[in-house]
Amino acid sequence: MSEVTRKVVFLIGFIAVCAIRVHFMQLVKQNKVVDGRTTAQEKFLLILTFFGMFLLPLVGIFTPWFEFASYDLPDWTGWVGTVVFMVAIWLFWRSHIDLGLNWSASLDIRENHTLVESGVYKYIRHPMYAAFWLWGIAQALVVHNWIYGLSYIVSFLPMYLLRIPQEEQMMLDTFGEQYQEYIARTGRVIPMIKSASDL
């Protein structure tokens, strides 16, 4: 797979994800936030992901500035990356559909918030974050560059580690025993892993 093809694949995926996000951002406006838990740390993490997931890849694709940091991978990795990319976009879209009006970009409880335990949420508690991991892996395989190929994974890791405990605490505060039971039968991002390491 040539470099140009890989860049085109990346841009198509990128546009698809942006379109899904913008659509749901408009949709959830009708369900008001009643308990917003966005801290300064959360804002910082969101800005970090904006750079790693959005800005750096675009700069890398449209300018020659990061060419010095390219790496070489066999041709077939581009195809594997494309498949992982498609799975990531599907999971991202599906989790938005399942969460519906309960979705927020940050940590919020909305006016008519319900606990979603069906669809992809039946198997894992954080399918959208699972989609982000898949996207990060795909980006590294499709965009062969130490800076903007890896920027997604690097910027998402702190958000993943710091946000999940806060998000789950917020859900426990709101849904109590119902969320406790939900935790007991689901994995975080990998189905059926419910051990002490709890992925």
Interface with ligand SAH (CB under 6 A): 95, 99, 102-104, 107-109, 115-116, 121, 126-129, 167, 171
- Helix, strand, coil in percent for the chain, rounding step 5: 65, 5, 25
Backbone dihedral region for residue 87 (phi beyond 0: left; psi -120 to 50: alpha; all else: beta): alpha
CB of 142 to ligand SAH, least distance (A): 22
Closer CB to ligand SAH, 167 or 198, in the complex: 167
Least distance in Å: CB of 127 to ligand SAH? 5
- Which lies closer to ligand SAH via its Cβ, residue 109 or residue 154? 109
Minimum gap (Å) between residue 51 Cβ and ligand SAH:
20
Residue 8 CB, nearest distance to ligand SAH (Å)?
28
In this complex, which beta carbon is closest to ligand SAH, that of residue 67 or of residue 173? 173
Quick check: helix, strand or coil at residue 70?
strand
Q: Which is nearer to ligand SAH, 9 or 128 (CB)?
A: 128
- The smaller minimum CB distance to ligand SAH, of residues 107 and 150, is found at 107
- Integer Cα distance of 54 and 150 in angstroms: 12
Q: Where are the alpha helices (DSSP H) in 50-196?
A: 56-62, 76-99, 127-142, 151-175, 177-184
Q: How many CB atoms lie within 10 A of CB 90?
A: 14
Closest CA to 116 of 182, 33, 164, 176: 182
What is the spatial distance between Cα 165 and Cα 159, in angstroms, rounded to a whole number? 11
Q: Tell me the CB-side half-sphere exposure of residue 29, using CA atoms within 13 A.
A: 6
Kindly state the smallest distance separating residue 86's Cβ from ligand SAH, in Å: 18
* Closer of 5 and 30 to ligand SAH (Cβ): 30
Whole-number minimum distance, CB 1 to ligand SAH, in Å? 30
